[in-house]
Structure 1
Amino acid sequence: MIKILSILRDLFTGTKNSDYQYRVALDIGTEFVKALIVRFNNDEVREIIGFGKVKQDYSNMEGGAISDIEEVIKRCYEAIEEAKAMAEVEVNEVVIGIAGEFVKGVVNKVSKKRTISTKRLQRKEIDNLVHQVQEESLTTAKKKLLADIGLENIKVELVNSSVVEIKIDGYKVSNPEKFQGKNLEVTVFNTFAPLVHVSALETIATRLGYRLAGIIAEPFAIAKSIMSNEAYEFGAIVIDIGGGTTDIALVRNGGIEGTKMFSLAGRNFTKSLARHFNISLTQAEDLKLKYSQGKVKEGRDQIDTTLKNDIKLLAEGIEVALSKLANSEALPQKIYLCGGGSSLANLKEGIKERELYEELPFFKTPEINLLTASDIKGIEDRVNLKDSTENVTPKSLALQAAMVQSSHEGNFLEKLVSNFV
């Protein structure tokens, strides 16, 4: 029935079903699983045609990572079925977002002096340099994980790679093929995650019956999705405050330079309210939402006081993460907040009170804005997603799902150049 309805719809809209590809974009969050069905083709038609959202149990996720895989699979199945019922198509590929405090983004640069400068660049040359960058990045990622969790010889997997910059004799080029020159310099942003996290996502895709077309780091997806001319030129800082983690991405010098994640986010606010008022987590979550929506009249001052310390800790965590990302270079002036946790009342003001410009290399006071789903361009929303901060991540993931090449498509260089930021 789904295929028949899809064919009829395509007849009425004047398009052929065979012209399109379909994928599921799966955002496995701490509070919700969100599934989006994406339709796209080679003519750069990108559309969200199905959406499903299912509440997670509190024990399903911890620190942005899956803790109960069987229950998460059930929630993913429910969300995807809801999205498929809306889209009225069959889908066999899935792209899954990954986040969490142990997901590491690493930027590395490698240079090479070419023997024959008049010889045109070949793909193999850049391919070899990129692999060299990946090996160096892997070592760095393992060191970061060792410092964070104290476990040596932890198995780490490459999640995704994106070329930040390619220079030939000091000149930046967007597509290096057929250029000539002596000095070749490649900068690549790589995202790594512990094998246990990656294998959990692979298991979910397999158990659900989908081929895993890609795994995308969620802060990377958001940062890449807002790469307007202004962000490309002046840079931006994206802070995604979810249920279990806060993910930060730095866009600078025309590319995504790095990401940082830490496990302090919306759920911490919920737990504080539950403890203070001696209520269940479900009741505390409901209270938090009503408070943010301005629906709580009595006891609002008490909630302000209860959450003040958590907001202060979050602002401190953001400052520490940005100091590590800054690497002594000037930080962009635009800061964008998104994610369900960013809509908490007084949170934006609490971050402003931290006066980040005093301790960090900002030229002037940074401008802090809330990012909403409507700010993500490049993909048509056919399902009327709620224009809120909480839908920024799934919409960004949907956009990248329509753009990423499957693991069996093209060679490694083609994928990297197609992901060029």
Structure 2
Amino acid sequence: MSFINKLIPTKKVIIIDIGTYKVKVALCEYKNNEINLISYKEKKQDSQNIIGTEISSIEGILNTIEDVFSNVLNNLDISVKDIILNIPTSTIISSGKDINYKRINDKESIDIKELDYIVSKVENEALIKAKESIFKKTGYLDVDMKLITSSITDINIDGFIVSNPIGFTGKDVFISVLNIFIPANRYNIITTIGNHLNKNILSIIPLEFSLPKILSNTDYQYDDVLFIDIGNSKTSLIVQKSGVIIGFDKINLGISDLIKNIKNSSGDTTIEIIKNIDKKDTYLKEKKEFLEVFEEGFILSLKEILKSSLVPHKVFISGGGDNEFVRAFIKNINLTKYTLHSLKPLDFIKIDFNEIKINGDKSIFNKTNLGILSMMIATKEIISYKNNPLISLVKSFIEKNEL
């Protein structure tokens, strides 16, 4: 929800995408309401840094990030204070809440004090609901979770959509919020990274929150879309309805699981496997086993996100596991067999990188690093929105709260 009330000064920021396979780092500059890519580097993770989807060696992660960091800044006389980053973890939880708030004095204009009260009321009710989601996901009632991202996905007054409620009159205020949590011990790793690099953490942006930003300024921006990111060790499913994220889920299965299985049975190298994996007559047994597990997780995740609503027929796939045999399989999944329904057959959408409002060398981007590209787009929004009082109140709530 955009509301910029004055020009934001030029700002440089480093974006860090900590994946289970690679660490990717981009040096960007925000200027004149545009994001400019100055430098981009990536480095493969040591296999001991991350086991499964969780960091197992903080020292190893820090060393890898430092190496990529220095390469990004190599020979550049640039000082950067702020970083934006994500972190690999399978325990990332979203919880949404819709609130109807009835104002007592509907003839008076909403001021910052009342808006603060409304936001706090909405967020506190959302936190109560979130505890139920966290217990369902983790099995623990008292697990420490940190609220890292909160987004007001919809706000209207007496049925009219607004981006900034201040100054409006009206009786009924409807607000929809989406909160994202990670375990407190995972959050502590992020603060350790910031301290080690001597940088200020401007924001934490999970892939599940940033990936839909890829469709900003495209014909699909406000459509219903199912996003599927098949990464190295996990797969993320995100559902967007009318341009708003309604929920996401993770499958603890990634393309590396298939590659390891093929290596064990065939003796082929990783390079050979990647080169041949989409050929129709190769690795049939291994692909069949992989897709069977994928389908089970795919269906369970869709049901968790959608409940009884329709599956979006427009599908956007990214990640190293975006292969033709996977696309063909997804396209032919019989949703009705699992009491899921879509108005039309699933169809894959493509984007033109020239449509993406990022200045710089876009040729470096491919299916494996769309995550950091989406983080760049999200970064532009984060910096742009800093003067929106609604966003400021939500940010203040995030800084003060955890479960």
List per-residue Cα deviations over 1:109-142 (Å, max 9, x = no partner): 1111111111111233333333333333334433
Q: Identify which of 329, 332, 346 aligns with 2:325.
A: 346
Distance change in 2, residues 1:244/1:92 (3 Å): same
Corresponding residue for residue 6 of structure 1: none
Q: Identify which of 272, 285, 296 aligns with 1:287.
A: 272
Q: Identify which of 67, 70, 74 aligns with 1:85.
A: 74
State the shift of 1:412 in Å: 6.4
Structure holding more helix per residue: 1
- Any idea what SS the aligned residue of 2:176 has? strand
- Higher mean C-alpha displacement, 241-250 vs 47-56: 241-250
List per-residue Cα deviations over 1:171-204 (Å, max 9, x = no partner): 2222222111111111111111111111111111
CA contact (8 A) 2:331 2:345 kept: no
List per-residue Cα deviations over 1:146-179 (Å, max 9, x = no partner): 3333233100111111111111112222222211
Corresponding residue for residue 12 of structure 1: none
Distance change in 2, residues 1:148/1:211 (3 Å): same
- Higher mean C-alpha displacement, 395-404 vs 24-33: 395-404
- Paired with 1:185 and 1:166, the residues of 2 have a C-alpha distance of 6
Q: Identify which of 317, 335, 344 aligns with 1:356.
A: 335
Corresponding residue for residue 118 of structure 2: 129
Partner amino acid for 2:21?
E
Q: Identify which of 283, 287, 298 aligns with 1:307.
A: 287
CA contact (8 A) 2:365 2:373 kept: no
Q: Identify which of 153, 158, 162 aligns with 2:151.
A: 162
Corresponding residue for residue 315 of structure 2: 335
- Paired with 1:417 and 1:72, the residues of 2 have a C-alpha distance of 30
1:20-99 to 2 correspondences below 5 Å: 20-41=10-31, 43-85=32-74, 88-99=77-88
- Paired with 1:339 and 1:321, the residues of 2 have a C-alpha distance of 18
- Paired with 2:297 and 2:216, the residues of 1 have a C-alpha distance of 25
**Is 1:263 paired with 2:252?**
yes
User: How many percent of aligned residue pairs carry the same amino acid?
Assistant: 23
**Is 1:173 paired with 2:162?**
yes
- Paired with 1:30 and 1:87, the residues of 2 have a C-alpha distance of 28
State the shift of 1:402 in Å: 3.1
- Paired with 2:133 and 2:119, the residues of 1 have a C-alpha distance of 21
**Is 1:396 paired with 2:374?**
yes
State the shift of 1:384 in Å: 4.4
Distance change in 2, residues 1:174/1:232 (3 Å): farther
List per-residue Cα deviations over 1:68-124 (Å, max 9, x = no partner): 111011111111211112755221211002353211122111111111111111233
Corresponding residue for residue 183 of structure 1: 172
Corresponding residue for residue 10 of structure 1: none
1:187-266 to 2 correspondences below 5 Å: 187-228=176-217, 230-266=219-255
Question: What is the root-mean-square deviation of aligned Cα atoms in Å?
Answer: 2.7
Partner amino acid for 2:390?
L
Distance change in 2, residues 1:275/1:147 (3 Å): farther
Q: Identify which of 103, 106, 109 aligns with 1:114.
A: 103
CA contact (8 A) 1:97 1:217 kept: yes
Partner amino acid for 1:311?
L
- Paired with 1:38 and 1:397, the residues of 2 have a C-alpha distance of 11
Q: Identify which of 323, 338, 342 aligns with 2:303.
A: 323
Partner amino acid for 1:74?
N
- Any idea what SS the aligned residue of 2:210 has? helix
Partner amino acid for 2:124?
E
CA contact (8 A) 2:35 2:377 kept: yes
State the shift of 1:66 in Å: 1.6
The alignment covers a number of residue pairs equal to: 387
Partner amino acid for 1:321?
S
Partner amino acid for 1:28?
I
Distance change in 2, residues 1:191/1:365 (3 Å): same
- Paired with 1:274 and 1:241, the residues of 2 have a C-alpha distance of 19
- Paired with 1:132 and 1:65, the residues of 2 have a C-alpha distance of 34
CA contact (8 A) 1:164 1:254 kept: no
- Any idea what SS the aligned residue of 1:176 has? coil
- Paired with 2:227 and 2:34, the residues of 1 have a C-alpha distance of 26
- Paired with 2:184 and 2:22, the residues of 1 have a C-alpha distance of 23
Distance change in 2, residues 1:371/1:82 (3 Å): farther
Q: Which TM-score applies when normalising by structure 1?
A: 0.84
- Higher mean C-alpha displacement, 116-125 vs 56-65: 56-65
- Paired with 2:52 and 2:113, the residues of 1 have a C-alpha distance of 40
- Any idea what SS the aligned residue of 1:365 has? coil
- Any idea what SS the aligned residue of 2:216 has? coil
Corresponding residue for residue 414 of structure 1: 391
- Paired with 1:65 and 1:154, the residues of 2 have a C-alpha distance of 17
- Paired with 1:38 and 1:63, the residues of 2 have a C-alpha distance of 30
List per-residue Cα deviations over 1:6-58 (Å, max 9, x = no partner): xxxxxxxxxxxx963111110000100000001112x2121111111000022
Partner amino acid for 1:386?
I
Q: Which TM-score applies when normalising by structure 2?
A: 0.87
Structure 1's unaligned 5+ residue stretches are 1-17, 295-299
- Paired with 1:236 and 1:365, the residues of 2 have a C-alpha distance of 13
- Paired with 1:250 and 1:212, the residues of 2 have a C-alpha distance of 27
Partner amino acid for 2:119?
V
- Any idea what SS the aligned residue of 2:113 has? helix
